[in-house]
Structure 1
Amino acid sequence: MSVALIVGVGDGLSASLARKLAARGYRLVFAARNIAKLGGLAAETKAVTVACDASQKDDVAALFEQVDEMGEALEIAIYNPSARARGPFIEIDPDAVQTGLQVTAFGAFLVAQQAARRMLPRGHGAIFFTGASAGVKGFPQSASFAMGKFALRGLAQSLARELHPKGVHIGHVVVDGAIRNPGRTEPPDRPDSMLDPDAIAETYMQLLEQDRSAWSWEIEVRPWVETF
């Protein structure tokens, strides 16, 4: 069995990813700041849970030490966390912006670096990042989120060019639209306007299972009614 690590686990996309990876026989590790909320999903998927603030290098190092203790190869690492500070640019709290960048981009760097150190000696593995439309177009009053997601996309593109020839598959999934999570549904006048988390997760699985002769480094997903 191989290990699949999901960093930033909740009840939406990451839960769908967990179920699909478990169905494919992976041993799962969930990392989140608050693991108390993961009990049900962890029991369902037989996952190990690890408390981790992905923006802190010591937390990330300790997370991967626990992954190593499982005694099996890390096959895939998925990075989901992000943070943002909304509001008019001249009013945004600089501390909140710094936190957002650390969570969205620096944390992704930390996790990817640790994962790559374990995958490169084997010449095999996959590191995927959950991106957003903010990583390809900046929106008003969302400067900090654009900064973080642009940095995340740049990290993924750079890693793909460096690590693909060494056998490690890098994937950046641009989620262009709102995700249909528990308790969050489309307005009556816009049916089917949100992304189904199971459908997004299936796209991740297709990316994971690509033949290396035709690897993608980036895929965009959006509702069929979304304008762009």
Structure 2
Amino acid sequence: MSQPTAIVFGVGSIRGVGGAVCRRFAREGYHVFVAGRTLAKIEAVVAEIAASGIGSAEALLTDVTDEVQVIAAFDRAMNPGPGREPADVVVSNAGNNAVIDFTQLTTAQFEDFWRVGCYSGFLVGREAARRLIPLGRGTVIFTGASGSLRGKPGFAHFAAAKAGLRMISQSMAREYGPKGLHVAHVVIDGGILGDRLQGASPARVERVGPEGLLGYDAIAENYWLLHRQPKSAWTQELDLRPFKENW
């Protein structure tokens, strides 16, 4: 049997959602293309997968806001080499976040958040549809956030981008679901106990404790379950939060 293939965009730290999703699919025997813009980080994910002895992985240095680079990444993932199937799992995980007072928000900052949080999803989603619809199958998963559903003070730029990404996922699901493509949007409602939050806000991590934060491996498990859902009961939107989260 040939080896299945997945590609995960927006992979950063090995202790984060992107790295965890790569490891989870590799654990099922997938060849995983680890796509991110920091070579050292994506190579660390590849090395950990190689050390596990299960599945395989390959680093793809990719800026998901660059159309040419996204297309090139899909070209590679759809032609993964002898003994491997074209990628039928695509994860769009790019994101950034920061609290910025609305009156101090610059046009450059707003555009940067839109490009990372929404435009990248358009590029990944469009290419996924172009490549997977001819196969008549596949899973496309977009990583959302609390801001996908509501805007809060200091987060207008972030919420605008993530809400746009959510609409991309819904439009794709309605158009391509009947053609065999499972498109899902995952709302990550809460902080993630990973390198990014621990580095940016250690006081928050200390205050809420591990039970007040999402585990990246637990999130990745849900991505795997979405991919494995039967066609008779597909989830389009899934919201995840720690049990102590106030929502």
TM range (shorter): over 0.9
Give the aligned partner of residue 31 of structure 1: 35
TM-score by length of 1: 0.95
Q: Give the partner amino acid of 1:203.
A: N
Q: Give the partner amino acid of 1:110.
A: L
The within-5 A match list for 1:34-45 is 34-45=38-49
Deviation at 1:78, TM superposition (A): 0.3
Deviation at 1:66, TM superposition (A): 1.8
Give the aligned partner of residue 157 of structure 1: 170
Q: May I ask how many residue pairs the two structures share in their alignment?
A: 228
Q: Give the partner amino acid of 1:117.
A: R
1:213 matches 2:232: yes
Deviation at 1:115, TM superposition (A): 1.3
1:204 matches 2:223: yes
CA contact (8 A) 2:118 2:164 kept: yes
From 67, 70, 75, the counterpart of 2:80:
70
Give the aligned partner of residue 5 of structure 1: 7
Give the Cα–Cα distance (whole angstroms) in 2 for the partners of residues 181 and 135 of structure 1. 21
SS in 2 for 1:192: helix
Deviation at 1:136, TM superposition (A): 0.1
Cα distance change of structure 1 residues 55 and 224 upon mapping to structure 2, 3 Å threshold: same
Deviation at 1:83, TM superposition (A): 2.8
Q: Deviations over 1:92-122 (max 9, x none)?
A: 0111111111111111111111111111111
CA contact (8 A) 1:85 1:93 kept: no
Cα distance change of structure 1 residues 87 and 116 upon mapping to structure 2, 3 Å threshold: same
Q: Give the partner amino acid of 1:4.
A: A
Give the Cα–Cα distance (whole angstroms) in 1 for the partners of residues 108 and 162 of structure 2. 17
1:137 matches 2:150: yes
The within-5 A match list for 1:73-222 is 73-84=86-97, 86-182=99-195, 184=198, 186-187=205-206, 190-222=209-241
Give the aligned partner of residue 54 of structure 1: 64
Q: Deviations over 1:134-162 (max 9, x none)?
A: 01010101110000000000001111111
Instruction: Compute the RMSD of aligned alpha carbons.
Output: 1.6
Cα distance change of structure 1 residues 189 and 41 upon mapping to structure 2, 3 Å threshold: closer
Which structure 2 segments of 5+ residues have no match? 50-55
Q: Give the partner amino acid of 2:6.
A: A
CA contact (8 A) 1:83 1:99 kept: no
The structure carrying a bigger helix percent of its residues is: 2
